[in-house]
A = this chain, B = another copy of it.
Amino acid sequence: MRAGQIAEEFPVVGVETSALVAARLIAQGRQPGIVVTGADGSPKAVLPASQVVRIMVPDYVQADPALARVLGEVSAEKIAERLRRATVADLLPEPPMDLAVVKPDDSLIEAAAIMARLRSPLCAVVDGKRVVGVITAAHLLGLVCRDEPS
C-alpha cells in the first residue's frame, strides 16, 4: 500500500487565511493540526492545534504564565475576535515546525518514519508541488490494527 492510496482529503490553508477559519477547520475535523500552503499551492508548514490555542492566551500571560492563575474568564466572543483579527502567519510557531512530506508512491513505512523523526502528528502527501492529501499518525495506526486480535 502506498501513501497516495490512503491520503485523506484535508483542508489546507494559506498564510493569509484568517486564524478563525483555520481554528474552525481544526475543531470540526478534530485534527491535530493543519497544512499551510504557499501562494503556489506547495506545502510550507504544519500549523499544530497547540499553536492555534496560543491566541486564546493574552500576551502578558504568555510572557508570565503565573498570571493565568489570577486572570478572570476571557469570553468566547473576545477570543473569537482575536482569532478573526489574526492570520495563519501570526500563529505559525517560531522556529517553524518541520513539515513532514511524503510522495504518493512512498510506502507507509516511509510515512511512519518521517512522522516519528519529526514528532509530527501528520504528514502531507505531495505530488510535485500539489498537496494531494494528508496522513495522520492515528489513521496509520488504524490501518495497522484493523482486524487484528489483541
A143 partner, pick from B18, B76, B117, B144, beta carbons under 8 A: B76
On chain B, the residues within 8 Å of A23 by CB distance are 141, 144-145
- Nearest CB in chain B to that of A80: its residue: B148
Contact A141 B48 (CB under 8 A): no
Interface of chain A: mostly helix, strand, loop or mixed: helix
Q: Which residues in window 89-125 of A have CB below 8 A to B?
A: 93, 106-121
Partner of A65, one of B80, B114, B119: B114
Enumerate A125-143 residues with CB–CB distance to B below 8 Å.
Answer: 136-143
Residues of B within 8 A of A93 (CB): 119
Number of copies of chain A assembled together: 2
A1: interface (CB < 8 Å)? yes
Whether B141 pairs with A27 at a CB distance below 8 angstroms is yes
* Chain B residues within 8 Å of A24, by CB: 141, 145, 148, 150
Binding site for B on A (CB under 8 A): 1, 18, 20-21, 23-24, 26-33, 48-54, 56-58, 61-62, 65, 68-69, 71-74, 76-77, 79-80, 83-84, 93, 106-121, 136-146, 148, 150
